[in-house]
């Protein structure tokens, strides 16, 4: 644990995770970003994707919905897309990887573009009751259209691989920038000792038994609780080497104040054992987008 970092060890962690409906994890292949991620990746497709999502879902955007908070996060995981018009991203707790997302918003309503992606994957399946007074056409335009997902090829459903996300946004706050590399190395070491491969040791795999996705991510709130770690347990994961269903399958668990000495416990308890480490629990989300508190 690096000395001298101003970490808040006093406030209770439970409930410090902001509520959200989905997290889109944009693959950038870089390990840090400017303070505001929408100002980064100026000549990269992932940067265009981030800015496009902010325009569509953010303040003044056509799909702004205060009851459908979508976290747009960048990650160090390398993108699959190599052309000049698409980018790659993970979706949680949908547990999907979309390798090719168009980053442009086109004028033609029939074209497959970034709006198509938002409508297919990011809008709510059911609107909040507060929207009930809106015209039916408006409500339909704010609701997910899952039939559009067929327009996106190569989708990987993440059924077996746990995903470990570590806030490493040093361009935003020094604490996460300092803590994250040490945590990343320790997660890699511990998971590898348990027989897992991970991106870097096996960069071609997104989902599979005994494979884990590990990445640094941009700001998700709570720098003063560094290190911040999110663990997404896939829907078909089992407990250890047994066939017993994993108690946390399909859920995302947020932890704070994680140091390298805690990593072994998180792997043993949460990833392998299906138990929440309550001392570090900030909050969680289930497959339906419901928020978990303790």
pLDDT in tens, 118-127: 999 999 999 9
173-205 confidence digits (pLDDT tens): 788 888 899 999 999 999 999 999 987 544 578
Query: How many other CB atoms sit within 10 Å of the CB of residue 244?
Result: 10
Give me the half-sphere count of Cα atoms (radius 13 Å) on the Cβ side of residue 283. Answer: 14
Burial grade of 153 (CB within 10 A; 0-12, 13-18, 19 or more): exposed
74-107 confidence digits (pLDDT tens): 999 999 867 889 999 999 999 999 999 999 998 7
One domain for residues 180 and 125: no
Residue 208, domain extent = 159-292
For residue 265, the domain's CATH number is 3.40.30.10
Q: For residues 234 and 248, is the Cβ–Cβ distance under 8 A?
A: no
One domain for residues 71 and 148: yes
Nearest to 217 by CA among 33, 16, 13: 33
Q: How many domains are contained in the chain?
A: 2
One domain for residues 112 and 177: no
- Reported residue count of the chain is 294
| Residue 98 in domain | yes
One domain for residues 165 and 278: yes
152-162 confidence digits (pLDDT tens): 999 999 999 99
Pairing type for strands 229-233 and 163-167 reads antiparallel
Q: For residues 91 and 121, is the Cβ–Cβ distance under 8 A?
A: yes
Domain end among 132, 156, 180: 156
The per-residue pLDDT for 202 is 46
The β-bridge partners of 215 are 165
| Residue 102 in domain | yes
Instruction: Quickly state the pLDDT bin for 1 (edges 50, 70, 90).
Output: low
One domain for residues 192 and 125: no
Helix, strand or coil, per DSSP, at residue 265 = helix
One domain for residues 180 and 234: yes
Q: For residues 220 and 228, is the Cβ–Cβ distance under 8 A?
A: yes
The per-residue pLDDT for 10 is 86
The per-residue pLDDT for 58 is 94
Instruction: Quickly state the pLDDT bin for 251 (edges 50, 70, 90).
Output: very high
| Residue 16 in domain | no
One domain for residues 209 and 240: yes
| Residue 93 in domain | yes
Q: Which residues of 89-117 are buried (b: 16+ CB within 10 A; e: fewer)?
A: bbbbbbbbbbbbbbbebeeeeeeebbbbb
One domain for residues 175 and 122: no
Domain end among 116, 134, 156: 156
Domain end among 123, 156, 189: 156
One domain for residues 145 and 197: no
The β-bridge partners of 245 are 238
Q: For residues 222 and 15, is the Cβ–Cβ distance under 8 A?
A: no
| Residue 15 in domain | no
One domain for residues 141 and 216: no
One domain for residues 103 and 117: yes
7-64 confidence digits (pLDDT tens): 878 899 999 999 999 999 999 999 999 999 999 999 999 999 999 999 999 999 999 9
One domain for residues 257 and 180: yes
């Amino acid at each position: 644990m690096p000395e001298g970092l101003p970490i808040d060890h006093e406030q209770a962690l439970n409930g410090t995770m902001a509520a959200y409906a989905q997290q889109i994890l944009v693959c950038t292949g870089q390990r840090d970003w400017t303070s505001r991620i929408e100002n980064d990746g100026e000549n990269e497709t992932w940067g265009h994707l981030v800015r496009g999502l902010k325009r569509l879902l953010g303040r003044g955007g056509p799909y702004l919905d205060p009851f459908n908070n979508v976290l747009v996060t960048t990650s160090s995981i390398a993108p699959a897309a190599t052309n000049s018009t698409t980018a790659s991203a993970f979706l949680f707790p949908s547990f999907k990887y979309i390798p090719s997302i168009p980053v442009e918003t086109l004028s033609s309503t029939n074209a497959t573009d970034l709006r198509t992606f938002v409508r297919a994957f990011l809008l709510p399946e059911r609107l909040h009751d507060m929207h009930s007074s809106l015209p039916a056409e408006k409500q339909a335009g704010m609701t997910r259209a899952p039939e559009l997902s067929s327009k996106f090829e190569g989708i990987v459903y993440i059924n077996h691989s746990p995903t470990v996300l570590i806030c490493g946004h040093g361009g935003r706050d020094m604490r996460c920038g300092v803590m994250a590399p040490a945590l990343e190395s320790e997660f890699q070491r511990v998971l590898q000792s348990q027989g897992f491969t991970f991106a870097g040791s096996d960069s071609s795999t997104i989902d599979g038994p005994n494979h884990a996705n590990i990445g640094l991510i941009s700001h998700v709130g709570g720098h003063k609780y560094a290190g911040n770690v999110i663990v997404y347990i896939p829907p078909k994961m089992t407990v250890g080497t047994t066939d017993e269903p994993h108690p946390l399958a399909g859920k995302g668990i947020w932890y704070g104040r994680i140091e390298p000495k805690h990593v072994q416990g998180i792997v043993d308890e949460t990833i392998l054992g299906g138990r929440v480490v309550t001392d570090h629990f900030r909050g969680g989300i289930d497959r339906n987008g419901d928020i978990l508190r303790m």
